[in-house]
Amino acid sequence: MGASVRRAAWVGWVLVSGPACTSGSPDAASPVAEVSPVAATTAAATALDLAGNAVDPLAGEAGTLAVLTFVTPDCPVSNRYAPELGRIAAAHPELAWWLVYPDPDVDAAQIEAHRREYALPGTPLRDPGHVLVARAGVVVTPEVAVFRRGDEGPPLYRGRIDDRVPEYGRARPEPTRRDLVLALDAVARGAAAPEPTTVAVGCPIDDLR
């Protein structure tokens, strides 16, 4: 199913952004998908760059940090977070930032157009086989995963960018907790993220398979 037909009504904060998340979004009685722990793996986390070449974003200098941000062009929650993602990435230029598109129907031209329109930070990757989705354990867009390169376990942090959207159809004018910022500040010091896993709210990745 193409990205252009996966749209439904949206309420609250994202109403002003245009079309909504995929039609497979959880219903009101179950607003957030369950997150399962990610088992350690030695398999390469391979995706594709926009030229179709295999790329492992977790390869590189051991001990350095890589941030994977999962987005889709037609997810209004992802798009509304673009300015915040830009601010965070600008504050941490020392990190490797990757912009991961898990929708197999989104091609390189659409990705470039989306990145330009929303000024999204990071090197873009396509993940049509959901290799990075599985490695990170993410379930929605937008969702982030922070890895220390060379580690084979789960992300140091995985989940929401902040708590601006606590549930479907409701949002705060400003977040009360900036989870990604707190996690990056902690892991950059060699400490554990205050909350290594948080629940992100957005457009379900399962519906893109």
CB 164 within 8 A of CB 171: yes
- pLDDT computed for residue 55 by the predictor: 95
DSSP 100-142: EE--TT--HHHHHHHHHHHT--SEEEE-TT-HHHHHHT--EES
Superfamily of 45-208 according to CATH: Glutaredoxin (3.40.30.10)
CA–CA separation, 6 vs 61, rounded Å? 39
Please indicate whether residue 34 or residue 83 has the higher confidence score (pLDDT). 83
Asked if residue 19 has pLDDT above 60, the reply is: no
Alpha carbon distances (Å) from 194 to 35, 67, 79, 108, 181: 18, 17, 26, 36, 11
Mean pLDDT, the chain, integer: 82
Please indicate whether residue 198 or residue 39 has the higher confidence score (pLDDT). 198
Domain layout of the chain by residue ranges? 45-208
Please indicate whether residue 18 or residue 52 has the higher confidence score (pLDDT). 52
User: Minimal CA–CA distance to 162: which of 21, 7, 13?
Assistant: 13
Among residues of the chain, what percentage have pLDDT more than 70?
Answer: 77
User: Minimal CA–CA distance to 136: which of 59, 36, 64?
Assistant: 36
Alpha carbon distances (Å) from 202 to 33, 48, 156, 191: 10, 24, 21, 28
- pLDDT computed for residue 208 by the predictor: 55
Count CA atoms within 13 Å of residue 182 on its CB side: 17
- Each residue's pLDDT tens digit, 111-132: 999 999 999 999 999 999 999 9
pLDDT-based confidence at residue 57 (cuts at 50, 70, 90)? very high
Cα R_g (the chain), whole angstroms = 16
- pLDDT computed for residue 21 by the predictor: 55
CA–CA separation, 197 vs 139, rounded Å? 12
Find how far residue 126's CA is from the centre of its chain.
Answer: 13
Average pLDDT over residues 162-168: 88
CA–CA separation, 109 vs 121, rounded Å? 17
The kind and range of the H/E element at 185 are helix 179-188
User: Minimal CA–CA distance to 177: which of 189, 165, 190?
Assistant: 165
The phi, psi pair for 95, rounded to 5°, reads -90, 155
